[in-house]
């Protein structure tokens, strides 16, 4: 193998990998394309009455502690009363709770604008309208006793709440009362600088009979809307996983794409787990009490001509004696995939940052990037420092590669002489070439290993840039103000092409036929075109890596040439 062929091998691997991803997206299940973002609802605006959705309210457990059957259509479709919209503001969230069900139906992530040039329009994660339907619901069900499900109408003390200056928490209470004497106080507790919301449903039984029921918590949504630029490589949302996910201490992280809901429904008893709906950069997750065993299920429901997907956790039964109050509690996370902090909330929650099969490389790489960023306060500089660390780790391999390449370049005249001697007899030529390599102690495959080692590192970094919300819209310097988007002026792809051309010039090409030579000459252009649509952070990594490799290659070649000149004199 010639020493320029590793570059071709890498290019073919990269092109094949991304073409496969594009094929999977184009011929697999596709979320709806579009660019519309649902407009936030105004606080205190009545929500219109809508028909109940068959299947999105679970039946009560048949007996104490038993789990509900995962059967759609178990609840008749009846009209629901209108509710009020309650607006909540903290330092990081704007949220809306609908008193119909007491559900969280809207959230704006204030620290994450849709466009970095206009911070007045934040990411709108939860919404109960249009193509972006995605809500967090919870309710109670009971056999023989009154219980408010996620369609019951609650009462609220105020129509707007805001986290006060100096306060660390904000409590939003809702109440529901039945004529039998059973009442429920549903409480959301928001925290400063946090996307984690504590929830509690307090059941007070003022009736003469015990109350027994279960709490269910569910996330219901349609597939996320994707903005399409028309070119697959520049649409990272198309490659990011979107669907349901859950975690159990036994089976660890599991996920279910929307198109697999019907074929592979979930029904599993889990203690110490969580259930989530994932999309690119952001997600929502219900985290029940880890001390209890909940039943996790998934369902597909139809509503308003939409197919909606639902993941639910169903609690054990709770019995409340007359004149007694007991509570169900859980936590709800609605926010970004901040990998460095999620495991502090619940075990395995950081796995929502889905790097796929390359997690074992990508996760440590992300950790290193975060630590480097803490030092330099610039993600572009952190990527450059990461390149330096990787080059140091692979220094011996690279040194052996470039020494092998330099020695082969010295043999170029002798190889050309062998080619003229044997003409078209490739068998004799190859035998003579291998004999020469053995005599000069040159491994013709020595130039391949460093490139092969770096291929998984390259793809792992691609997934880190694709999935890490910390690098979303992260600026570098000058014209590069978003490392997760392509270089707007294609400067980095051009620099990378120039580094590749220079490396080819320094590399020997023994035994290469005209077709191979043409391919190698066009490869820098092909890679420049491909990299033009990659995230700028990834191209920055590869360009700096190529420039350092070129410098190392030139230094080693220059030293060997000087050594040869001294030996001749």
Q: What is the mean pLDDT of residues 181-201?
A: 98
Q: What is the mean pLDDT of residues 337-341?
A: 92
Model confidence at 564, pLDDT cuts 50, 70, 90, reads low
Give pLDDT, residue 2.
Answer: 41
Strands 85-89 and 160-162: parallel
Residue 61 lies in a domain: no
3-state SS track over 444-513 = CCCCCHHHHHHHHHHHHHHHHHHHCHHHCCCCCCCCCCCCCCCCCCCHHHHHHHHHHHHHHHHCCCCCCC
- Do 444 and 300 lie in a common domain? no
pLDDT tens readout for residues 270-328: 999 999 999 999 999 999 999 999 999 999 999 878 899 999 999 999 999 999 999 99
DSSP 349: G
Token pair 């969230």 in the structure block, residue: 93
Is the pTM higher than 0.85? no
3-state SS track over 229-281 = CCCHHHCHHHHCCCEEEEEECCCEEEEEEHHHCCCCCCEEEEECCEEEEECCC
Residue 347 lies in a domain: no
Strands 211-221 and 196-205: unpaired
- Do 203 and 322 lie in a common domain? yes
- Do 412 and 510 lie in a common domain? yes
- Do 303 and 433 lie in a common domain? no
pLDDT tens readout for residues 199-256: 999 999 999 999 999 999 999 999 997 766 555 555 666 778 999 999 999 999 999 9
Give pLDDT, residue 299.
Answer: 95
| Helix H or strand E encompassing 141 | strand 134-141
Per the DSSP assignment, residues forming a β-bridge with 94 are 89, 108
Domain that holds residue 294: 44-53+80-227+287-338
Nearest to 150 by CA among 287, 312, 288: 312
- Do 562 and 439 lie in a common domain? yes
- Do 210 and 125 lie in a common domain? yes
Which of 273-287, 295-309, 339-353, 461-475 has the least mean pLDDT? 461-475
pLDDT tens readout for residues 377-432: 999 999 999 999 988 887 777 777 767 767 777 777 888 888 888 877 888 888 88
C-beta neighbour count of 157 within 10 angstroms: 10
Q: What is the mean pLDDT of residues 140-166?
A: 96
Residue 251 lies in a domain: no
- Structural domains counted in the chain: 2
Give pLDDT, residue 356.
Answer: 82
Q: What is the mean pLDDT of residues 81-92?
A: 90
pLDDT tens readout for residues 24-57: 444 444 433 333 333 343 334 444 444 456 668 9
Q: Is 482 in contact with 113 (CB distance < 8 Å)?
A: no
Residue 379 lies in a domain: yes
Residues 451 and 456: their CA atoms lie apart, in Å, by 10
Give pLDDT, residue 78.
Answer: 37
Could you tell me which residue, 394 or 479, shows the higher pLDDT?
Answer: 479
Which of 35-39, 77-81, 115-119, 488-492 has the least mean pLDDT? 35-39
Could you tell me which residue, 412 or 469, shows the higher pLDDT?
Answer: 469
Token pair 């068959």 in the structure block, residue: 54
Residues 39 and 87: their CA atoms lie apart, in Å, by 14
Could you tell me which residue, 430 or 133, shows the higher pLDDT?
Answer: 133
First to last CA, the chain: 33
Question: Residue 187's domain is classified under what CATH number?
Answer: 2.70.98.90
Give pLDDT, residue 348.
Answer: 96
pLDDT tens readout for residues 67-78: 444 433 333 333
- Do 415 and 300 lie in a common domain? no
Residue 447 lies in a domain: yes
Model confidence at 553, pLDDT cuts 50, 70, 90, reads confident
Structure tokens that stand for 143 in this block: 């056999």
- Do 420 and 499 lie in a common domain? yes
- Do 407 and 316 lie in a common domain? no
* Distances from the Cα of 250 to the Cα of 270, 271, 288, angstroms: 9, 9, 16
Per the DSSP assignment, residues forming a β-bridge with 176 are 184
Residue 358 lies in a domain: no
- Do 96 and 211 lie in a common domain? yes
Q: What is the mean pLDDT of the chain?
A: 83
- Do 325 and 399 lie in a common domain? no
Residue 330 lies in a domain: yes
Strands 182-191 and 318-320: unpaired
- Do 332 and 375 lie in a common domain? no
Give pLDDT, residue 17.
Answer: 53
Residue 34 lies in a domain: no
Token pair 């559900």 in the structure block, residue: 103
């Amino acid at each position: 193998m010639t020493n320029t062929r590793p570059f071709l091998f890498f290019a073919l691997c990269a092109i094949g990998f991304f073409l496969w991803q594009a094929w999977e997206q184009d011929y697999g299940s596709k979320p709806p394309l579009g660019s519309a973002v649902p407009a936030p609802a105004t606080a205190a605006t009545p929500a219109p009455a809508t028909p109940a959705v068959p299947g999105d309210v679970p039946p009560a457990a048949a007996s104490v502690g038993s789990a509900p059957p995962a059967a759609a259509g178990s609840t008749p479709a009846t009209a629901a009363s209108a509710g009020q919209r309650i607006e909540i503001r903290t330092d990081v969230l704007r949220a809306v709770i609908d008193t119909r069900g007491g559900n969280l139906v809207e959230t704006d992530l204030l620290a994450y604008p849709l466009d970095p040039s206009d911070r007045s329009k934040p990411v709108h994660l939860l919404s109960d309208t249009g193509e972006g339907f995605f809500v967090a619901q919870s309710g109670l069900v009971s056999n023989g006793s009154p219980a408010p499900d996620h369609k019951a109408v609650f009462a609220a003390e105020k129509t707007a709440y805001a986290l006060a200056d100096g306060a660390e928490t904000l409590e939003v209470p809702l109440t529901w009362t039945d004529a039998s004497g059973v009442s429920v106080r549903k409480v959301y507790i928001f925290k400063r600088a946090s996307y984690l919301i504590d929830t509690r449903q307090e059941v007070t039984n003022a009736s003469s009979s015990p109350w027994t029921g279960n709490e269910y918590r569910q996330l219901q949504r349609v597939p996320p809307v994707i903005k399409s630029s028309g070119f697959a490589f520049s649409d990272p949302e198309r490659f990011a996983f979107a669907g349901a996910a859950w975690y159990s201490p036994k089976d660890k992280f599991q996920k279910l794409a929307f198109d697999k809901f019907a074929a592979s429904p979930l029904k599993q008893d889990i203690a110490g787990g969580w259930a989530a709906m994932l999309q690119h950069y952001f997600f929502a997750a219900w985290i029940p009490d880890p001390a209890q065993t909940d039943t996790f299920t998934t369902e597909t429901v139809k509503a308003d001509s939409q197919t909606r997907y639902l993941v639910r956790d169903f609690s054990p039964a709770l019995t409340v004696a007359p004149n007694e109050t007991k509570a169900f509690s859980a936590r709800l996370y609605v926010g970004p995939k901040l990998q460095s902090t999620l495991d502090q909330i619940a075990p395995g929650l950081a796995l929502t940052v889905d790097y796929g099969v390359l997690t074992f490389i990508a996760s440590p790489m992300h950790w290193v990037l975060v630590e480097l960023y803490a030092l330099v306060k610039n993600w572009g500089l952190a990527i450059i420092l990461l390149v330096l660390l990787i080059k140091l780790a692979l220094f011996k391999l690279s040194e052996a590669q470039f020494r092998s390449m330099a020695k082969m370049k010295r043999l170029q005249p002798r190889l050309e002489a062998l080619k003229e001697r044997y003409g078209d007899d490739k068998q004799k030529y190859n035998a003579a070439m291998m004999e020469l390599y053995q005599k000069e102690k040159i491994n013709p495959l020595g130039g391949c290993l460093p490139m092969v080692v770096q291929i998984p590192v390259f793809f792992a970094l691609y997934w880190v840039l694709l999935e890490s919300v910390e690098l979303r819209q992260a600026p570098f310097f000058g014209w590069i103000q978003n490392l997760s988007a392509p270089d707007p002026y294609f400067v980095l792809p051009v620099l990378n092409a120039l580094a590749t051309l220079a490396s080819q010039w320094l590399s020997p090409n023994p035994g290469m036929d005209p077709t191979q030579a043409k391919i190698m000459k066009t490869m820098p252009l092909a890679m420049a075109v491909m990299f033009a649509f990659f995230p700028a952070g990834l191209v920055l990594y590869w360009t700096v890596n190529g420039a350092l490799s070129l410098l190392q290659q030139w230094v080693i070649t220059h030293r060997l040439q000087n050594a040869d000149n001294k030996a001749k004199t």
